[in-house]
């Protein structure tokens, strides 16, 4: 295992895997393999007939996953985003699963590898793609996007109040020379953000916004949740770890919407006991990392784990 893999600390490791209530002969999905922390713990609870399908966009993560699959035949690897959940599982001959886990956002190895361009701590090529084998880089998008589009991305995905100033600075700068590095973008953000939150770099929200946009992160979350819920067996569990409010809002609203009886027209008279059972049941309250975990791994401080269980109620994809 490389030094980079060793540096990766899986957030809410035991809490997330415990939430799945793993059955020894069950079929499970780790939708965000990363460096395999959650996957290895799931495998330790599976028996010889259990099965684990792992997804990841990142070629480096996939390389680690394939090494694991070579030594453990219970593992099957999918190189791709989890938005292709149902298609991939059907191709593997899987019609239903006992649990699905998603650890959202960017991973520590991606942030800590300067060449990936996710972090403003290093001056490196402005890439930001989770899958470096396809798609447009952040630098390419910034070279082509209009000022209004850049402003909307920074506003909507970064919740940055100085979105107009940053977008204007980007467009003005690229007229003189292309914005190709993380250092250039961080400097532009620092000059445009007039006040900063305590302890937060002025480039934080801009980098978050562009990364989310380049990788279609929120769209993928919205796409996979109904697929995963619809694929769960009765009693199967869905566990999702989110790291910022935009992700968590999507997860929370999805679980709550499908954990309540569907609203009926006012003219329909039906006893409460006769109403159709909701397809999901929310399990417990949202969990956060403990003080000890946060002290050992500061990146855990914003993590939120939400869990739902599939009922016998019919799931209707909206």
**Which contacts of 150-154 are long-range, i.e. CB under 8 A and separated by 24 or more positions?**
153/209, 153/210, 153/213, 154/205, 154/206, 154/209, 154/210
Q: Locate 272 and state its tokens.
A: 């409460």
Which residues are annotated binding-site positions?
Answer: 36-38, 56, 82, 103, 110
Q: Distance between CA atoms of 119 and 183, rounded to whole angstroms?
A: 9
Q: Distance between CA atoms of 270 and 101, rounded to whole angstroms?
A: 36
Taken in order 218, 219, 220, 225, is the CA torsion positive or negative?
positive
Cβ–Cβ under 8 Å, residues 41 and 13 = yes
Q: What is the DSSP letter of 247?
A: H
Q: Which of 131, 111, 136 is nearest to 243 (CA)?
A: 111
Which residues are annotated binding-site positions for S-adenosyl-L-methionine?
Answer: 36-38, 56, 82, 103, 110
Cβ–Cβ under 8 Å, residues 128 and 136 = no
């Amino acid at each position: 295992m490389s030094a980079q893999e060793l540096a990766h600390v899986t957030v809410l490791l035991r809490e997330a895997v415990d939430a799945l209530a793993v059955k020894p002969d069950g079929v499970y999905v780790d939708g965000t393999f990363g460096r395999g922390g959650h996957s290895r713990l799931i495998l330790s609870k599976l028996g010889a007939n259990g099965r684990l399908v792992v997804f990841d966009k990142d070629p480096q993560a996939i390389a680690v996953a394939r090494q694991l699959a070579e030594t453990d035949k219970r593992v099957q690897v999918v190189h791709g985003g989890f938005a292709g959940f149902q298609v991939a599982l059907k191709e593997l001959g899987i019609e239903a699963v006992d649990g699905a886990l998603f650890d959202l956002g960017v991973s520590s190895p991606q942030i800590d590898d300067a060449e990936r361009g996710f972090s403003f701590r290093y001056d490196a090529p402005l890439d930001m793609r989770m899958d470096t084998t396809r798609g447009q880089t952040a630098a390419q998008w910034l070279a082509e996007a209009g000022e209004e589009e850049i402003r909307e991305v920074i506003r909507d995905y970064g919740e940055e109040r100085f979105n107009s100033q940053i977008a204007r600075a980007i467009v003005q700068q690229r007229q003189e020379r292309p914005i190709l590095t993380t250092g250039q973008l961080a400097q532009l953000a620092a000059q445009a953000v007039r006040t900063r939150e305590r302890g937060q770099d002025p480039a934080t929200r801009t980098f978050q916004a562009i990364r989310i946009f380049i990788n279609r992160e929120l769209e993928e979350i919205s796409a996979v949740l109904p697929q995963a819920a619809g694929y769960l067996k009765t009693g199967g569990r869905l566990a999702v770890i989110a790291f910022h409010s935009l992700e968590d809002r999507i997860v929370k609203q999805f679980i709550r919407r499908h954990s309540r009886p569907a609203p009926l027209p006012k003219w329909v008279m039906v006893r409460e006991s006769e109403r159709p059972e909701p397809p999901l049941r929310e399990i417990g309250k949202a969990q956060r990392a403990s003080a000890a975990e946060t002290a050992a791994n500061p990146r855990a401080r914003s993590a939120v784990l939400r869990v739902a269980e599939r009922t016998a109620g019919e799931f209707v994809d909206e």
